[in-house]
């Protein structure tokens, strides 16, 4: 069957594959799947957000659902609202997360506020493709109301799960860069509640993203790195467009790779209780080292935050997340949460009494090298099978693509979910060895693609 939902909801370029017509039909399909009841609706500040959220709302109401419009809020804020109000059928968020300006998307949430399980998405896809929409009659059409309480509820939830007094005592200076995304309405206020001196960059919600693109990569955070140094701040924090991810800059203005913030937060979370940490197969070994030392263990999954979140729920994990700054604190909720991640990182700084650069420098050090090899979509499966044959007899893991373990490093080769290429990730103790492993991985793909 053709798929409607990708790894992170439905995404497309507005006016091309993401249109009002599509949004109405998706709203109707989700509404049909949910049946009668109430559903939360939210959006990020993208220019097409008001148009698409009204179209989705019309579809949901046409099927008889009451729509509670939370307005422009971060995705994890909407998820928390659904999670706390246990009686909702679920939620819908209009967002394209970290994608460029021209994109938008539709993300469906289940009754716990989690990104929907694949089986539920399939049920919605069946309704959509077979056009088996439930249509309410004139007297049963759903109502629409606004609820402006989601932000306050969310911020109080975060503050209840960190040591507010310890953080306030440190009187940290923080530069927040929400990219003009949904984090503008939460993170600066959260930081102020935590006693920080707050400077904001790209702090006005603006779907044109005038200051920088929404993905918090090193290439996009030059201004933040600069301002952290200029302002003599203790750290900088950047979100993606819907603020479910948080990436940090240390007090020297250096970009802190997501593997390192993940490791620092894992150590802090496990210190209290030990336990299981869930992360995709692509995350750095620094996480294994830190978790082992803290008496916990690591479970590896396929790449994708919904997969990590589901595995955490199923296994009763203490902590989990991805190297892109998407981090999950299960006592708060089973989804990536940029606001919670910021608060927890401030707690780490307050407790350890050291600078972020010193904490990062004390972690085990690895070098990572990434490459990409073009592979036509029609050769994808054959290439994967060829790879498995080529690495026979070696120590491999096939959770997602093929990961080859060597005594002094590893190389992972996996097909991209969105582009006609295979991604190669290699990690080792030295840059030279990482480079050699990446070259070997790329060469294996080139041999496998030929068959
Ligand atoms: Mg996001």
Pairing type for strands 421-428 and 367-374 reads antiparallel
97 CA to middle of ligand 1, Å? 4
In the set 38, 48, 63, 97, the catalytic residue is 97
Beta strand spans in 255-395 (E): 255-256, 276-280, 297-301, 319-321, 327-328, 367-374
Identify the pLDDT of residue 6: 84
Identify the pLDDT of residue 136: 98
Rounded distance between C-alpha atoms, residue 237 and residue 235, angstroms: 7
Identify the pLDDT of residue 273: 80
> Which pair of structure tokens corresponds to residue 320?
């989990």
Element (H, E) at 84: helix 75-84
- Is residue 48 among the annotated active site residues? no
414 CA to middle of ligand 1, Å? 22
222 CA to middle of ligand 1, Å? 20
The tokens 């069957």 sit on which residue? 1
Distances in Å between the alpha carbon of 44 and those of 15, 20, 95, 389?
Answer: 18, 16, 5, 45
Pairing type for strands 396-397 and 367-374 reads unpaired
Would you write out the chain's pLDDT as a tens digit for each of its 451 residues?
A: 578 988 778 999 999 999 999 999 999 999 999 999 999 999 999 999 999 999 999 999 999 999 999 999 999 999 999 999 999 999 999 999 999 999 999 999 999 999 999 999 999 999 999 999 999 999 999 999 999 999 999 999 999 999 999 999 999 999 999 999 999 999 999 999 999 999 999 999 999 999 999 999 999 999 999 999 999 999 999 999 999 999 999 999 999 999 999 999 999 999 978 899 999 999 999 999 999 999 999 999 999 999 999 999 999 999 999 999 999 999 999 999 999 999 999 999 999 999 999 999 999 999 999 999 999 989 999 999 999 999 999 999 999 999 999 999 999 999 987 789 999 999 999 999 999 999 999 999 999 999 8
Burial 223-232 (b: 16+ CB within 10 A, else e): bbbebbbeee
Choose among 366, 349, 351, 363: nearest CA to 291: 363
Identify the pLDDT of residue 7: 76
Identify the pLDDT of residue 451: 80
201 CA to middle of ligand 1, Å? 18
Length of the chain: 451
243 CA to middle of ligand 1, Å? 6
Ion ligand 1, residue ranges at CB < 5 A: 97, 240, 242, 244
Distances in Å between the alpha carbon of 112 and those of 66, 84, 117, 201, 277?
Answer: 17, 8, 11, 33, 21
383 CA to middle of ligand 1, Å? 30
Burial 253-286 (b: 16+ CB within 10 A, else e): bbbbbbbbbbbbbbbbbbeeeebbbbbbbbbbbb
Identify the pLDDT of residue 1: 54
241 CA to middle of ligand 1, Å? 6
């Amino acid at each position: 069957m053709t798929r409607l939902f990708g790894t992170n909801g439905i995404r497309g370029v507005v006016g091309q594959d993401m249109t009002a017509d599509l949004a109405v039909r998706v709203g109707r399909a989700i509404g049909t799947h949910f049946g009668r009841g109430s559903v939360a609706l939210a959006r990020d500040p993208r220019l097409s957000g008001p148009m698409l959220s009204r179209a989705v709302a019309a579809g949901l109401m046409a099927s008889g659902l009451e729509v509670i419009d939370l307005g422009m809020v971060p995705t994890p804020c909407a998820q928390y609202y659904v999670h706390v109000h246990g009686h909702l059928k679920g939620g819908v968020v209009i967002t394209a997360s970290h994608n460029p300006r021209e994109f938008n998307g539709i993300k469906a949430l289940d009754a716990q506020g989690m990104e929907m399980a694949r089986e539920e998405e399939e049920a919605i896809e069946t309704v959509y493709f077979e056009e088996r929409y439930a249509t309410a009659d004139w007297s049963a059409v759903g109502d629409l109301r606004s609820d402006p309480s989601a932000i306050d509820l969310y911020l109080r939830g975060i503050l209840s799960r960190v040591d507010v007094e310890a953080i306030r005592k440190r009187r940290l200076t923080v530069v927040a860069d929400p990219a003009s995304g949904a984090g503008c309405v939460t993170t600066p206020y959260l930081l102020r509640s935590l006693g920080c001196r707050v400077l904001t960059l790209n702090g006005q919600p603006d779907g044109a993203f005038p200051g920088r693109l929404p993905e918090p990569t090193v290439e996009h955070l030059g201004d933040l790195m600069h301002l952290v140094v200029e302002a003599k701040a203790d750290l900088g924090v950047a979100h993606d467009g819907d603020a479910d991810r948080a990436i940090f800059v240390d007090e020297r203005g250096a970009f802190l790779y997501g593997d390192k913030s993940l490791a620092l937060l894992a150590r802090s979370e496990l210190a209290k209780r030990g336990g299981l940490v869930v992360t995709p197969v692509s995350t750095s070994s620094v996480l294994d080292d830190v978790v082992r030392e803290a008496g916990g263990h690591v479970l590896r999954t396929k790449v994708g935050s919904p997969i990590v979140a589901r595995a955490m729920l199923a296994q009763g994990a203490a902590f989990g997340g991805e190297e892109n700054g998407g981090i999950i604190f299960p006592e708060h909720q089973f989804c990536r949460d940029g606001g919670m991640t910021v608060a927890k990182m401030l707690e780490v700084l307050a407790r350890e009494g050291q600078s972020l650069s010193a904490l990062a420098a004390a972690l085990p050090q690895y070098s990572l090298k990434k490459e990409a090899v073009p592979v036509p979509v029609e050769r994808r499966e054959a290439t994967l099978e060829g790879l498995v044959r080529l690495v026979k007899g070696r120590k491999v893991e096939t959770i997602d693509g093929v990961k080859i373990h060597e005594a002094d490093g590893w190389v992972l080769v996996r097909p991209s979910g969105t582009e006609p290429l295979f991604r190669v990730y290699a990690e080792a103790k030295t840059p030279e060895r990482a480079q050699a492993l990446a070259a070997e991985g790329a060469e294996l793909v080139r041999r496998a693609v030929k068959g």
